Amino acid sequence: MKLSYCVIVGKGNLISIGDTMISSQYEDDVCFVYGRYKVYLVRHIYRVFKETLESLSECIYNVITLHNCVRGIFSQKNKPGLPA
């Protein structure tokens, strides 16, 4: 028998095959089981999404700040009375 994909909502045991128990450890999460690997919706997927969004937000902020600095430098060069 081969069991390669299962979803467990909440804490519990889904199936026992020999010495292997397919289960979820957390009441407040959804567990995706891929063979011997478990991926939890909130603890893994949501966390990665949140951390990626935070990193991207920081990168975007830095790009906007750099853009504004560069724009400020070039706009000053075009003002009369300033050395080019």
Alpha-helical segments (H) within the chain: 47-77
Count of alpha carbons within 13 angstroms of residue 44, beta-carbon side: 10
Rg (CA), the chain: 26
**Sequence spans of domains, the chain:** 5-77
The count of other CB atoms within 10 Å of the CB of residue 24 is: 21
Evaluate if residue 80 carries a pLDDT over 70.
Answer: no
Q: Which residues contact 33 (CB under 8 A, 6 or more apart)?
A: 3, 5, 6, 7, 8, 14, 22
The reported pLDDT for the residue numbered 1 is 44
Q: What is the pLDDT of residues 11-62, one digit of tens each?
A: 988 888 888 888 899 999 999 988 788 999 999 999 999 999 888 888 888 8
In the predicted model, what is the mean pLDDT of residues 6-13? 89
